[in-house]
Structure 1
């Protein structure tokens, strides 16, 4: 281990971390870099990379433990159970196996006291490892909530059995009360926790945008379009992210059927458990394109080449407090949104920022109409994009977010 007599030690415990691609991975990596820049010694405890295909990445296979250095950040990777088919029971066992291996193998890497242990839920089962490590190292425990478990899995119908849910709610309460601070990605999450646990100290730790996003080299938009068989007159609406149940991307197929008389194309980047549904229907349309996954460094090229960003979620009350992290990157490049989310995201980015248009979640006609409206109003697209860029750079600069967070934890 790297020794330091002056830097405070900040451990991040998460099941998801780069080189995996995804919003939690990138957000936590950016947090780690920001803390490093603020004179913390940062240690990450994570799993061998396997997301989203649920396969250990090439170069990490046949290993139970792997140590990496990423931007002077110590990254310790532990093995976990990888099922061939992800049934709910096997997924549960995967979560528990990772928590167990963290407890077992971290004894070898955390050989001294640490100052802060920051862990992310979901999965909430990782809280078992977080609490054990807190007791073992004397760290101050910080719980970061990116999604409200077990509430979300109950409301989405993933788990309905009250006998199972009751101990999960108890465990959630236990972990919050053992934490010196509970952070959340949205104000909705923080409000929910504060209302249920008024004595728990909470803090809004939002997603944001990093200045280094603009430093990536990129292919010119016209060249990228030509290489992918699109011309400059095509109107490209891009979705990039997880393809899961919550996103409800099947409506894109239905909306696209109503746009045959327009040069409007939906480009969907990413993978996930619901991808097969889109693949099974892709032949129904010619203006929806499944583009696969892309390396992080290529994202600026894609965004520069798009006309509009699509931000969809299903019409479920639980999701109204969600703010998908992909919003910030699109707006930072002055691209307007077609937003299919009610609640907090709508209030921030449509009403306050005036950075796009909204459509009714789960309504393909509403989505199609929103697409046509922006296609027919190109000047408005430019104006909305400029509004969005100013809003995120003024209010969601990751360096400023990290600075405020560091000032807070130094007072804990």
Structure 2
């Protein structure tokens, strides 16, 4: 693939989380396969800006050398992590304007413009009002918006939903091709398309270089990693961890996000719960690999129940069975391939009992570990899946239909 590619994403290396890692892995894979990618993003601020005051997380030297040449960071005045809703809106509007200006000056330099959403303002700035057929505009959907925002308990956007739904539909229909990271999104998007826009499923994954192998902790241990935001049910997570603590089951929590402080405060006196600071991806994967099972606990809203959490992908990727209250395609995959445990809106008691059962049934636990590794090797290796994405980007509309899944 020799085409010049502009990638647009709010999240990118060295930020933490599955969104930044997805963009990092795609960028590196495109370059490795002979493409000429440029990443347009912002200064790293996720999970918080202070984390990047020094070079601790800038550990990829091959990417560091591309800063300011192939990795272009828009200088923003505001902070995207601002807790004030109005100030965050101002930030996104500034981002929208800066991106529009960049595209007006440079879009003819690229054969493909690949924009990842959320945030939604980047997709709007990229897709709305486009006129020329060149470059090809590819929209990646990692979250259904505005449904995902409307599902948050602390935000009420019901008054604006008709307008937002119109803009959502316009966004899908403005794209030449669409990439999704969750099969549950396909029908939702197709129902809003006026033409047969090609859609390709590219799950989050794990690189061959990240296939860490670690000895398990001597004592049976549970791990929770990553964000505790508004999509996660922090109260249920706290209750589960406290119940495990009462049963003298060790829990490690490597957490960040707007509700992480609430979690830390609630479990600070629990002798069997260890809180650790955020760490880079390889270190985090290493810790997950050492533990026996992992937790992923989401809010009960359908829009969150139908996602594919990055923490579950990471857990499967290192052979640690995930335990979750999730439903939809992720629940179906975990159950079908016996990768761990997933049940829609599973109760605290059900989840704790399942963990305790696996603690006492070493053969069942080992089977799930081996099943997770097998599923990973067949479905979640970046180097394999990126080849399919490149084929999708190369092909015309008729050919695209023949390579779905």
| TM bin (shorter chain) | 0.7 to 0.9
Which residue is equivalent to 1:146? 142
Structure 1 residue 324 displacement after superposition: 1.1
TM, length-normalised to structure 1? 0.85
Change (3 A) 1:169 1:132: closer
Structure 1 residue 135 displacement after superposition: 4.9
What is the aligned counterpart of 2:207 among 206, 210, 217?
210
**RMSD (CA atoms):** 2.8
Conserved in 2, the CA contact under 8 Å of 1:146 and 1:184? yes
Alignment of 1:99-114 (within 5 A): 99-105=96-102, 110=106, 112-114=108-110
Structure 1 residue 7 displacement after superposition: 2.4
Unaligned runs of at least 5 residues, structure 2: 56-62, 397-405
Secondary structure (helix, strand or coil) at the match of 1:46 reads: strand
Conserved in 1, the CA contact under 8 Å of 2:127 and 2:175? no
2: CA distance between counterparts of 1:314 and 1:379? Answer: 31
1: CA distance between counterparts of 2:12 and 2:133? Answer: 23
**Is 1:309–2:305 an aligned residue pair?**
no
**Is 1:192–2:176 an aligned residue pair?**
no
Conserved in 2, the CA contact under 8 Å of 1:205 and 1:405? yes
1: CA distance between counterparts of 2:69 and 2:311? Answer: 24
What is the aligned counterpart of 1:19 among 14, 18, 30?
14
Which residue is equivalent to 2:309? 324
Change (3 A) 1:386 1:104: same
Conserved in 2, the CA contact under 8 Å of 1:241 and 1:271? yes
Which residue is equivalent to 1:366? 350
**Is 1:30–2:30 an aligned residue pair?**
no
**Is 1:125–2:125 an aligned residue pair?**
no
Alignment of 1:54-93 (within 5 A): 54-55=49-50, 57-58=52-53, 69-70=65-66, 74-80=70-76, 81-82=78-79, 85-93=82-90
Which residue is equivalent to 2:44? 49
Change (3 A) 1:158 1:192: farther
Structure 1 residue 148 displacement after superposition: 0.6
Secondary structure (helix, strand or coil) at the match of 1:203 reads: strand
**Is 1:401–2:396 an aligned residue pair?**
no
TM, length-normalised to structure 2? 0.87
Which residue is equivalent to 1:63? none
Unaligned runs of at least 5 residues, structure 1: 1-5, 61-66, 226-231
Which residue is equivalent to 1:257? 242
What is the aligned counterpart of 2:340 among 333, 352, 356?
356
Secondary structure (helix, strand or coil) at the match of 1:196 reads: coil
* Runs ≥4 residues deviating over 4 A: 70-73, 105-108, 132-137
Conserved in 2, the CA contact under 8 Å of 1:78 and 1:105? no
Provide Cα deviations, 1:391-412, integer angstroms capped at 9, x if missing partner: 1211222222111111111123
Change (3 A) 1:362 1:314: farther
Conserved in 1, the CA contact under 8 Å of 2:338 and 2:368? yes
Provide Cα deviations, 1:217-262, integer angstroms capped at 9, x if missing partner: x8x657xx6xxxxxx22x2111111111212133233223333554
Say how many residue pairs are matched: 387
Conserved in 1, the CA contact under 8 Å of 2:225 and 2:311? yes
Which residue is equivalent to 1:94? 91
Conserved in 2, the CA contact under 8 Å of 1:12 and 1:43? yes
Provide Cα deviations, 1:332-366, integer angstroms capped at 9, x if missing partner: 3222121221111110122x211112355362222
Secondary structure (helix, strand or coil) at the match of 1:270 reads: strand
What is the aligned counterpart of 2:229 among 244, 252, 256?
244
**Is 1:345–2:335 an aligned residue pair?**
no
Change (3 A) 1:293 1:133: farther
